[in-house]
Amino acid sequence: MIEVDRISKTFRHRKHKGKAPHQKDKREDGKLFYAVRNVTFRAEAGTILGLLGPNGAGKTTLLRMLSTALKPSEGTARFDGVDVVERPLDVRRRIGFLSDNTGLYGRLTAREMIEYYGKLHGLEQAKINKRMDELFSLLEMTAFVDKRNDSLSSGMKQKVSIARTLIHDPEVIIFDEPTTGLDVAAAEAILKFIESCKDKGKTVLFCTHHMHEVDRLCDFVVILHKGWLCFEGSIEQMRSDTGQTHLDKAFLTLIDSSEVNHAA
């Protein structure tokens, strides 16, 4: 289970010389810039929570705080009761994080890289081997596990990333735009895999720009806009609140209304 409680992240404000007052970003507050502001939500075990928002909404910052890469400026987040600030190493043992921009070690083979992360997670060699066999079979990777990552296709690389994310069998899995840049077949394989995670009782946080993926996978969604939480609820609620059948339009309506609310 993920519990996020009034979490905020500020960075030192950058001066914009020559910028007119009306062009000032609403996230600027004195010397601080709020990348994420006062966000609260929760995701139960065995559910898929969609994290949505336009570019620059604060999604990556939020995910970095949840994954303990960044420390929250205010508020907190807990994974099964384990606090990201107080026990970051324990949180990292519980989560797997897959991003579209997380790279691979090009001069290592897929097997070497996954084994490396297994060791960093403190797994015994026998357990690493067993887990690798399971993942290679599940993700249909056996044909290329001993090839160097540099020589793999985008789809193969994404499978290696997934195996790397799951080597320690995490309870919570965070997918940050996992299908970006993939062809239809590779994207479909990833989506099926995410569905299977839910079936296994894992908590999934799924971040994407593709509304058809949200429609298909997510039980609940949270929408961020300019650092603020502008919606939290189910897909049905998203449609009913906005009166839009299409999820794309519902999303845009929520973003527009958030813009109006914060401008007021």
Partner 1 sequence: MRLNILTIYLKEMKEVLRDRKTLIFMVALPTLVVPVLMNIMIGFIVRAEKKAQTETLTFAIFGSEHLPDLANAFSEEEGFEKVNIPIQEAIASAIEENKIKFGLVIPQTARVQLERDEQVAVQFYYNNASATSKVKNRASKVIREFSEKYRSERLAGLGLDTPQEQEHLLNPVTIEEHNTADLREVLGERVGGMLPYLFIIFCFMGAMYPAIDLGAGEKERGTLETLLLAPIRRYQIVLGKFLVIFTTGVTAALLSLTSMGVMLATKGKEITGELGEVIASVSVVDLVLIAAMLIPTAAMFAAVLLSVSIYAKSFKEASAYCGPLNFLAIVPAFIAMLPIVKLDWYWAMVPITNISLAIKELIKGTMNYEMFTAILGSSVVIAGAFLFFCSRWFEREAVLFRQ
Query: Which residues contribute to the site for partner 1 (CB under 8 A)?
Result: 12, 64, 67-71, 89-90, 92-93, 95, 97, 99, 101-108, 112, 116-117, 119-122, 164
CB of 170 to partner 1, least distance (A): 10
Tokens of 243: 């009166």
CB of 92 to partner 1, least distance (A): 4
Per-residue burial over 238-250, b = 16 or more CB atoms within 10 Å of its CB, e = otherwise = bbeebebeebeeb
Nearer to partner 1, 121 or 209 (CB): 121
Q: Is the dihedral of CA 45, 250, 248, 55 positive or negative?
A: negative
* In the complex, minimum distance from the CB of residue 163 to partner 1, in angstroms, rounded to a whole number: 12
The answer to whether the Cα torsion of 146, 100, 39, 20 is positive or negative is positive
| Cβ nearer to partner 1, comparing 97 with 175 | 97
Phi-psi domain of 255 (left: phi exceeds 0; alpha: psi -120 through 50; beta: other): alpha
Farthest CA pair distance, the chain: 62
Residue 93 contacts residue 84 (beta carbons within 8 Å): no
Q: How far is the CB of 41 from partner 1 (least distance, A)?
A: 21
Nearer to partner 1, 10 or 242 (CB): 10
Residue placing its CB nearer to partner 1 in the complex, 89 or 143? 89
> Which one, 67 or 258, has the nearer CB to partner 1?
67
Structure token pair of residue 72: 């929250």
DSSP 178: T
Give whichever of 16 and 246 is closer to partner 1, judged by the CB atom.
16
Using the 8-state DSSP alphabet, how is residue 209 labeled?
A: S
Q: How far is the CB of 244 from partner 1 (least distance, A)?
A: 34
Tokens 């840049």, residue located: 181
Q: Which is nearer to partner 1, 93 or 249 (CB)?
A: 93
| Lateral strand order in the sheet of 28-29 | 28-29, 32-43, 2-12, 74-79, 82-83
Shortest distance (Å) from residue 116 CB to partner 1: 5
CB 196 within 8 A of CB 134: no
* Spatial distance between the Cα atoms of 144 and 152, rounded to a whole number of angstroms: 8
Smallest distance from the beta carbon of 100 to partner 1, in angstroms? 9
